[in-house]
Structure 1
Amino acid sequence: MKNLFTAASLAGLLAAGALLSSCTKESMEPAGSAPTLVTTKSSSDATIANGVMMQGFYWDVPMSTAAGTWWQNLGAKATELKAAGITALWIPPAYKGSSKFDVGYGVYDRYDLGEFNQKGTVATRYGTIGQLQSAIGALHGQGIQVYEDMVMNHLTSADNQELANNQYNVYTSFTYPGRNNTYSNYKWHWYNFSATQQAPNNGWYQWAAYDFQPYANNDAYDNLLGSEIRYNDINNANETINWSNWITTKLNLDGYRLDATKHIQTTYLNRWLDNAKTSGRFVVSEAWFRNLSDMNNYAAATGGRTNLFDVPLHYTFADMSNGNGSWDMRGLQFAGFTEANGALSVSFVDNHDTDHTTGALFSPVSNLKMLAYAYILTREKGYPCVFYKDYYEYGLGAQIKKLIQIRQANAYGAATEYTSTNDADVYAYSRAGDATRKGLLLLLNDGGSSRSKGITTPFKNATLTDQTGNVSGIITTDGNGYATFSVPARSYAVWVPTGGTTTPPPTSGTTAVTFNVTYSNTTSGQDVYVVGSTTQLGSWNAANAKKLSGAAYPKWSGTVNLTSGTAVQYKYIRKDAAGNVLWEGGNNRSFTPTGTTATRTDTWQ
């Protein structure tokens, strides 16, 4: 969420109390002048091997579905999401908002996950804490990671009014009587905030300096909505980190989506990223900068600690959509933050804000949307995010699923931009493949008639078919990889060499893997477990981790049968009988089991 409301809609909500590896290039042409930036990022198995995340909600999702609440709906879809190739799900803010109707961004109590009778309801808009935990368990059981939406900028709908700085009578007293100090006894009062935005005139009442001055041509600024948290206050800073670590453990989270970060003090955000439980977990921030230079500057300011949504690329797609056939498709060449810093980019087509008709960020990709999805799902760079509403509500699921299958089977190897071949209507892009996967050739056409293009591909003396089903027939290239390829009007094609599959190659057999780890930082009642990315290793769910024997302490050992030939990510954890968990720090460990037996010998410092 960022600048979500128009002034009129925000006023109405307040008044109602409901506020809530670089590309190669044809003919060796220069690849552009994008700056080199820090590209360090958190490790996550969902981003490895062409993973795809899904935003698992949209604005004002129904409070009741065929499966029950929204949490129950997501849990019921775990199996089909796995089959679709979704490797991670971004869920909405899980904590209590201003009412049962609040979509989560009007944060009231971050420790109430649908457990306490507050604001006239126990459940949040999405359901109860038990339903949420069951949904996460179902998703983890299918190997799907879960990213929580972290709203850290503000609070709304206080319990009581108080006099701020002897100036203003404002609603800034958050004492949470319904929770009665469960999980935390931290209370919020006017001195914890710098300002608040309240009815009846929707005005700002400010009594302390904002944490930072506007920058990026005033596009980044502190005050967004509600009561603005002062992160210059070390107590607020520490409390938010404590809450973040609590919710990570409570929900067994695999990562985070950080809301409206251009409205949060950057030095504090960096401290949060360094001190919250982000090690081994994925983090992506919503820093809504339309300008690519601002995106690059923000990536540098955060030191590569967090991935960023590719907002400039979204607006490129929006321009294509608005052109509806008249836009120059060469604008897709080397486009967006994804090209400038692919290791930190999360590419997307639309989200809950861009699709929200009365929101300030309304900018939907209404036309030619599948061309945009074909672009991000075959790209060498970026971690693509699919929008739930596109997949389920707008009827694009079958097409998106097919593209994800093509991505996971064939989108590998060096990339080529065909700048001397592309024209105003047709964009071409290829992936050369690797030792075991055949690669692909993508063609996008926004024009009103079908087109053919002569292209020198990486595939010499090869036969290719369009795996999307949009074009029939077989194309054969010559000894230089050249052939003429077709693409329908206002559509796309992904040509794959014969032998390239649209589903990942099957594996057979198992490998008995013995895990040996030396670890001495335990006391009586504590044991060491191994947990990882496959179902045999618990799908990153600490409750399903495999216990190791400490008979040869400080060496802990155990054997697990893993699928041969399937890449594995894993870590060690320490757990006691009460379920308290300590995760090993650093990047995920990884290997591919082969043979009948294998041994992993590790040290956990």
Structure 2
Amino acid sequence: MKNVFAAASLAGLLAAGSLLSSCSKENLQPISTPAPLASTAQNATVANGVMMQGFYWDVPVTTAAGTWWQNLGAKATELKAAGITAMWLPPAYKGGSKFDVGYGVYDRYDLGEFNQKGSVATRYGTIGQLQSAIGALHGQGIQVYEDMVMNHLTFADNQELANNQYNVYTSFTYPGRNNTYSNYQWHWYNFSATQQAPNNGWYQWAAYDFQPYANNDAYDNLLGSEIRYNDINNANETINWGNWITTKLNLDGYRLDATKHIQTAYVNRWLDNVKTNGRFAVSEAWFRNLSDMNNYASATGGRTSLFDVPLHYTFADMSNGNGNWDMRGLQFAGFTEANGALSVSFVDNHDTDQTGGALFSPVSNLKMLAYAYILTREKGYPCVFYRDYYEYGLGAQIKKLIQIRQANGFGAATEYTSVNDADVYAYSRAGDATHKGLLVLLNDGGSSRSKGITTPFKNATLTDQTGNVSGTTTTDANGFATFSVPARSYAVWVPTGGTTTTPPPTGGTTTAVTFNVTYSNTVSGQDVYVVGSTAQLGSWNAASAIKLSGAAWPKWSGTVNLTSGTAVQYKYLRKDAAGNVLWEGGANRAFTPSGATATRTDTWQN
């Protein structure tokens, strides 16, 4: 999110009046930048995983499935089949009205639970629908990342006199929530400045505490009332909130909004205190310049991945060239090539797709070439845009590329700098002991092309797995052959035989496994279930989880017959009659059943 006021809906709301925002007594302390903790230095993602951004600007309030949360939950099974391994959710908390897209944050503790700003639900639905959607996604093994907006608050409850100078909307007392979850309130002294109205300047009474980048450009005054993280109360409260929402929604990770507008030392501290237990984080630090990206990665010490903004603009240049751009510009491109371990590659997102927005820069032409690039690359964690997949008609092609990636995107990468030309770009993955590898060709020209390429695949017959080119081609003993790619299209050539897989074990012996878990955080109408990776444990589907007995509460117990010798992963969840699901935290538990009986004795993980 670069400029929320660029969205017509939010601009209208702000212009209508409920303006901007500030909480406890001021307590200034400098925030140090500790070294990253061992548990947070690495981001935990699925091997060859693919993230989806599960929203866009102004998604409909009502869909065929119901609310937006219900829409995402209903798609969990098909997303799993498509190879999506993680879902980035929009800001789930209350904004200035039911129509706020979430970046105009009013109350970060209201996830569609309290009657505030004219409704209980947020734009996306209620808290129960949100938790059910997360349960459905988790049930299909899909991780869930929440969009964390920490730079500002908007739509204050009341006006107050700031620094004996300005009458401003900076009083956030949340009467509709009445101190549920947190009694922290915000007032003018918790902020450095507040925006008067869209494009009407700022009232400022304290120094901005952001860390400048890119020749000291001032990034702090983004939107609403700007939170001061030199105030230790604000700093601690936002960490407390981060841990609260992580537990409340059983999050697997985070997308941090607009981090170049937030004091970098505080971003580091927040990550060290919230992104624990192997959770993932990616930050929106919107730098077009690669050196600025590298500087930010260094300043955050590897704690967070970064969206590859320079690569997006490379794709935008390709799109704008529409056949006249030099495809050799894709060689070693972007932050993905410079620091693949910390890169989240993407083609478009809610900002670049938003007509009239400050970052509007869509990849309108040749978009599938860009997707073929990020989904076959050795480096980077690719992010697919919901609107591209479901509304711009690219879903079937993207799904095929994800399947190719997950079956064959392994092994060392090769750039063909002596083969590439202004129209055609080629790139290969060598494969490994169990995966065959791939060769991708991208062609932005108006004519089909053929290229002679020495590949890693010797004496091999290859087919184009995308279906864009028919027939086969066979390499010689050096791996050389001629490969075709259609005009304004792409091809991914794979050695025949696909992925080498090991068949699952067979046999009829079972082990009667008794699951015992100690968990006391239940009320009447709530039960505890076990769910896992095999059909006998519901195949990660919360609706098929095995209900445990609470007769010996707080111990919950049940026995399930599992196939002996077959490795199992499992977790526990809590569910009520309305279908609201809370998954336990931590990593999946794992074991291999053996013998006639076995017992698992666990304590619920927070």
TM over 0.5: yes
Asked if the contact 1:18–1:99 (Cα under 8 Å) also holds between the matched residues in 2, the reply is: no
- SS state of the match for residue 183, structure 2? coil
- SS state of the match for residue 508, structure 1? coil
- SS state of the match for residue 550, structure 1? strand
Question: Aligned residue for 1:232?
Answer: 230
Pairing of 1:347-426 with structure 2 (within 5 A):
347-426=345-424
| Deviation at residue 110 of structure 1 after TM alignment | 0.5
Asked if the contact 1:39–1:304 (Cα under 8 Å) also holds between the matched residues in 2, the reply is: no
More off after superposition, 547-556 vs 337-346 = 547-556
Question: For the structure 1 residues 541 and 296, does the alpha-carbon distance in structure 2 shift closer, same or farther, using more than 3 Å as the test?
Answer: farther
More off after superposition, 260-269 vs 13-22 = 13-22
| Deviation at residue 132 of structure 1 after TM alignment | 0.7
Asked if the contact 2:42–2:302 (Cα under 8 Å) also holds between the matched residues in 1, the reply is: no
Asked if the contact 2:10–2:104 (Cα under 8 Å) also holds between the matched residues in 1, the reply is: no
Asked if the contact 1:84–1:405 (Cα under 8 Å) also holds between the matched residues in 2, the reply is: yes
Question: For the structure 1 residues 325 and 485, does the alpha-carbon distance in structure 2 shift closer, same or farther, using more than 3 Å as the test?
Answer: same
Question: For the structure 1 residues 228 and 22, does the alpha-carbon distance in structure 2 shift closer, same or farther, using more than 3 Å as the test?
Answer: closer
More off after superposition, 131-140 vs 593-602 = 593-602
Asked if the contact 1:409–1:502 (Cα under 8 Å) also holds between the matched residues in 2, the reply is: no
Question: For the structure 1 residues 29 and 156, does the alpha-carbon distance in structure 2 shift closer, same or farther, using more than 3 Å as the test?
Answer: closer
- SS state of the match for residue 440, structure 2? strand
Structure 2 stretches lacking a partner, 5+ long: none
| Alpha-carbon displacement from aligned partner over 1:514-561 (angstroms, at most 9, x marks no partner) | 999999999999999998777877888999999999999999999988
In structure 1, what is the Cα distance between the partners aligned to 2:22 and 2:261?
31
Task: Report how many residues are paired.
Answer: 602
Asked if the contact 1:224–1:263 (Cα under 8 Å) also holds between the matched residues in 2, the reply is: yes
Question: For the structure 1 residues 596 and 367, does the alpha-carbon distance in structure 2 shift closer, same or farther, using more than 3 Å as the test?
Answer: farther
| Alpha-carbon displacement from aligned partner over 1:159-180 (angstroms, at most 9, x marks no partner) | 0000001010000000000111
Asked if the contact 1:18–1:101 (Cα under 8 Å) also holds between the matched residues in 2, the reply is: no
| Deviation at residue 358 of structure 1 after TM alignment | 1.1
In structure 2, what is the Cα distance between the partners aligned to 1:432 and 1:394?
32
In structure 1, what is the Cα distance between the partners aligned to 2:67 and 2:26?
51
Question: For the structure 1 residues 363 and 598, does the alpha-carbon distance in structure 2 shift closer, same or farther, using more than 3 Å as the test?
Answer: farther
Question: For the structure 1 residues 227 and 145, does the alpha-carbon distance in structure 2 shift closer, same or farther, using more than 3 Å as the test?
Answer: same
Asked if the contact 1:329–1:446 (Cα under 8 Å) also holds between the matched residues in 2, the reply is: yes
- SS state of the match for residue 27, structure 1? coil
| Deviation at residue 202 of structure 1 after TM alignment | 2.4
In structure 2, what is the Cα distance between the partners aligned to 1:183 and 1:484?
64
| Deviation at residue 576 of structure 1 after TM alignment | 16
Asked if the contact 1:24–1:415 (Cα under 8 Å) also holds between the matched residues in 2, the reply is: no
1:483 partnered with 2:481 = yes
| Alpha-carbon displacement from aligned partner over 1:25-50 (angstroms, at most 9, x marks no partner) | 999999xx99999999x599973221
Question: For the structure 1 residues 557 and 172, does the alpha-carbon distance in structure 2 shift closer, same or farther, using more than 3 Å as the test?
Answer: same
- SS state of the match for residue 28, structure 1? coil
* Fraction of identical pairs, as percent: 90
Question: For the structure 1 residues 309 and 591, does the alpha-carbon distance in structure 2 shift closer, same or farther, using more than 3 Å as the test?
Answer: farther
In structure 1, what is the Cα distance between the partners aligned to 2:90 and 2:249?
13
In structure 2, what is the Cα distance between the partners aligned to 1:265 and 1:467?
46
Asked if the contact 2:420–2:426 (Cα under 8 Å) also holds between the matched residues in 1, the reply is: yes
| Deviation at residue 280 of structure 1 after TM alignment | 1.4
Question: For the structure 1 residues 399 and 29, does the alpha-carbon distance in structure 2 shift closer, same or farther, using more than 3 Å as the test?
Answer: farther
Question: Aligned residue for 1:552?
Answer: 552
Asked if the contact 2:195–2:224 (Cα under 8 Å) also holds between the matched residues in 1, the reply is: yes
| Alpha-carbon displacement from aligned partner over 1:298-341 (angstroms, at most 9, x marks no partner) | 01100000011111110110010011011110111111111111
Question: Aligned residue for 1:293?
Answer: 291
Structure 1 stretches lacking a partner, 5+ long: none
More off after superposition, 14-23 vs 364-373 = 14-23
In structure 2, what is the Cα distance between the partners aligned to 1:296 and 1:443?
29
Asked if the contact 1:117–1:178 (Cα under 8 Å) also holds between the matched residues in 2, the reply is: yes
Asked if the contact 1:451–1:487 (Cα under 8 Å) also holds between the matched residues in 2, the reply is: yes
| Deviation at residue 131 of structure 1 after TM alignment | 0.8
- SS state of the match for residue 46, structure 1? coil
| Deviation at residue 450 of structure 1 after TM alignment | 0.2
Question: For the structure 1 residues 335 and 228, does the alpha-carbon distance in structure 2 shift closer, same or farther, using more than 3 Å as the test?
Answer: same
| Alpha-carbon displacement from aligned partner over 1:494-533 (angstroms, at most 9, x marks no partner) | 0011101899999999999999999999999999999877
| Deviation at residue 221 of structure 1 after TM alignment | 1.7
| Deviation at residue 24 of structure 1 after TM alignment | 56
Asked if the contact 2:19–2:196 (Cα under 8 Å) also holds between the matched residues in 1, the reply is: no
In structure 2, what is the Cα distance between the partners aligned to 1:334 and 1:407?
19
Asked if the contact 1:10–1:19 (Cα under 8 Å) also holds between the matched residues in 2, the reply is: no
| Deviation at residue 15 of structure 1 after TM alignment | 1.0
Asked if the contact 2:43–2:304 (Cα under 8 Å) also holds between the matched residues in 1, the reply is: no
In structure 1, what is the Cα distance between the partners aligned to 2:92 and 2:64?
20
Question: For the structure 1 residues 53 and 582, does the alpha-carbon distance in structure 2 shift closer, same or farther, using more than 3 Å as the test?
Answer: closer
Asked if the contact 1:38–1:299 (Cα under 8 Å) also holds between the matched residues in 2, the reply is: no
| Alpha-carbon displacement from aligned partner over 1:247-284 (angstroms, at most 9, x marks no partner) | 11111111110000000000011000011143311111
| Deviation at residue 578 of structure 1 after TM alignment | 17
In structure 2, what is the Cα distance between the partners aligned to 1:125 and 1:554?
37
- SS state of the match for residue 317, structure 1? helix
| Alpha-carbon displacement from aligned partner over 1:38-96 (angstroms, at most 9, x marks no partner) | 999x5999732211110000000000100111011101111111111111110100000
Question: For the structure 1 residues 340 and 24, does the alpha-carbon distance in structure 2 shift closer, same or farther, using more than 3 Å as the test?
Answer: farther
In structure 2, what is the Cα distance between the partners aligned to 1:43 and 1:174?
35
| Deviation at residue 454 of structure 1 after TM alignment | 0.2
| Deviation at residue 145 of structure 1 after TM alignment | 1.0
Asked if the contact 2:371–2:398 (Cα under 8 Å) also holds between the matched residues in 1, the reply is: yes
In structure 2, what is the Cα distance between the partners aligned to 1:530 and 1:132?
21
More off after superposition, 1-10 vs 351-360 = 1-10
- SS state of the match for residue 600, structure 1? strand
| Deviation at residue 216 of structure 1 after TM alignment | 1.1
| Alpha-carbon displacement from aligned partner over 1:327-379 (angstroms, at most 9, x marks no partner) | 11011111111111111110000000000011100000000000000000000
